[in-house]
Amino acid sequence: MADQSKFLDAVKAGYQFKGEHAKIGAGMFNGEVVAGADVFIPLKTLNRHGLIAGATGTGKTKTLQVISEILSNNSIPVLLMDIKGDLSGIAASGVLNDRLADRCQKLNISYQPAAYPTELMTLNEGKGVRLRATVTEFGPVLLSKILGLNDTQGGVVAMIFKYCDDQQMPLLDLQDFIKVLQYVGNEGKAELEKSYGKISTTSTGTVLRKVIELQQQGADVFFGERSFEVEDLMRINDDGRGMVNILRVTDMQDRPKLFSTFMLQLLAELYASSPEEGDLDKPKLVLFIDEAHLIFQEASDALLQQLETVIKLIRSKGIGIFFCTQNPQDIPAAILGQLGLKVQHALRAFTAADRKTIKQAAENFPESDFYKTDELLTQMGIGEAFVTLLNEKGIPTPLVHTMLCPPSSRMDVLSDPEIDALVGKSKLVHKYKEVVNSQSAYEILEAKLAEAAEKQAEVEAEKPKKGAAKEESFFDNPVVKSVGRTAAVMITRSLLGALGLGGRTSKRKY
């Protein structure tokens, strides 16, 4: 095993950066913090995405909080997906206690309590800025992937979007989409087939069932107006710090498909609306997705492929994504390979499967001359983690057992009165509070069907009613009709007889 001086030299050489950087902790050797072995993160490479992993209670959430504070202090806005509801404390100042004082002494830092500019957000009727998106904004390709449709069914969805676009019928919510689906399968089938080709009733039925399944997970609260503008995530506070946007999605654990739907749409919208930025000195926005396994556990292959594509490309827009989860294996391998910064807290080995997982996790890190990585993974204390990241040249830094800095903000949640006060002074809450019910496909088709029904009623009204007495003329009388028919037959036979063509032919006698 190498000595402490070599460890110190390795950390200093690996974690010195020319551009803007911030201290995240200090290196540990043989279980003790080494003076001068400061571990920094360069802001330039934070758009290369990252992973924060570890067993329950090892300090993942506090690490997420610390990195968010670093970003905000450097004028970088943050979006936190708060699944457990324990991140709101970043809006309030922390309180120094003996435990924090001891940690700060070991790390050679001073504790500066601070509250950060925070915006609370929600996908439902909860407190905060209401996030919505329209069906039109999803588009046919993304919606088809979310619903898990095959090519034929996806073609039906694309046709519906094309028809609605041609007819200037906005698709704002799922009610609009369902109404058009029903119209396509019934009254409007002939109309659409004339312009867009054959439509399978089986396909429209399957799509309808998939949409209803999405509805049952509560997707109705997400689709509609007013649609959220992603530029509102990238605000800088008046004091120059980046806004910390906390999306409180505590009810998403039972609705993973809705969470996947929201995340994919948000990433797609961010990618589509953000210009190419090239090599920035620091990212424009960083997203932290807590309990990230919820995105992947119900995702189809098509959805995973779409996520992988967006994550690969979105970093060129200056946007970074950090996944926070208990086990690194929760993240698909293709996405895990895209994560440049890794903060691995302790893992627990209770079973043979756990030990196998720990061995796999250790193999994902750079080799170290200073640690037996797989053994130390089970022995690290709370607030300690293995850290490795990409330097400014894109080269992985040495793996370092790190004691992490504590958050400056509160390591607990806000009270209800504090939340009410925070929401009450928000400008965005008032901007997105009102539900806009514009005229869309549902209302347009309802009016169209009502007009058709009214015309049909008028036509039926002009027809004589069944069983009603009719005004009879002389020639309509049944007796007169019968006499007329008899006379016509007799006259016809007489004429034919005169011509030798009518009547029976008698046998001629010789």
Q: What is the pLDDT of residues 150-206, one digit of tens each?
A: 888 999 999 999 988 888 888 888 889 998 888 888 888 888 888 888 888 888 899
Q: Is the pLDDT of residue 288 over 70?
A: yes
pLDDT score recorded for residue 433:
80
At CA 131, angle to CA 128 and CA 134, rounded to 5? Answer: 160
Instruction: Between 200 and 404, name the one with better pLDDT.
Output: 404
Q: Is the pLDDT of residue 470 over 50?
A: no
Structure tokens, 3: 């000595």
In terms of residues, how long is the chain?
A: 510
pLDDT tens for each residue of 483-506: 455 444 454 444 444 444 444 443
- DSSP reduced 3-state for 206: helix
Range scoring the smallest mean pLDDT among 87-101, 132-146, 182-196, 291-305: 291-305
User: Would residue 278 be called left, alpha or beta, if left means φ above 0 and alpha means ψ between -120 and 50 degrees?
Assistant: left
Range scoring the smallest mean pLDDT among 230-234, 378-382, 393-397, 457-461: 457-461
- The burial of 36, by beta-carbon neighbours within 10 Å (0-12 exposed, 13-18 middle, 19 or more buried), is given as exposed
Per the CB < 8 A criterion, the answer to whether 50 and 292 are in contact is no
Q: How far apart are CA 367 and CA 363, in angstroms?
A: 8
The mean per-residue pLDDT over the stretch 13-25 comes to 93
pLDDT tens for each residue of 27-80: 999 999 999 999 999 999 999 999 999 998 899 999 999 999 999 999 999 999
pLDDT score recorded for residue 195:
84
> Interhelix angle for 151-166 vs 189-196, to 10°?
100
Percent of the chain with pLDDT over 90: 42
Instruction: Between 508 and 252, name the one with better pLDDT.
Output: 252
Which pLDDT band, with edges at 50, 70 and 90, does 476 fall under?
low
Range scoring the smallest mean pLDDT among 106-120, 250-264, 335-349: 250-264
Q: What does pLDDT average to over the chain? A: 84
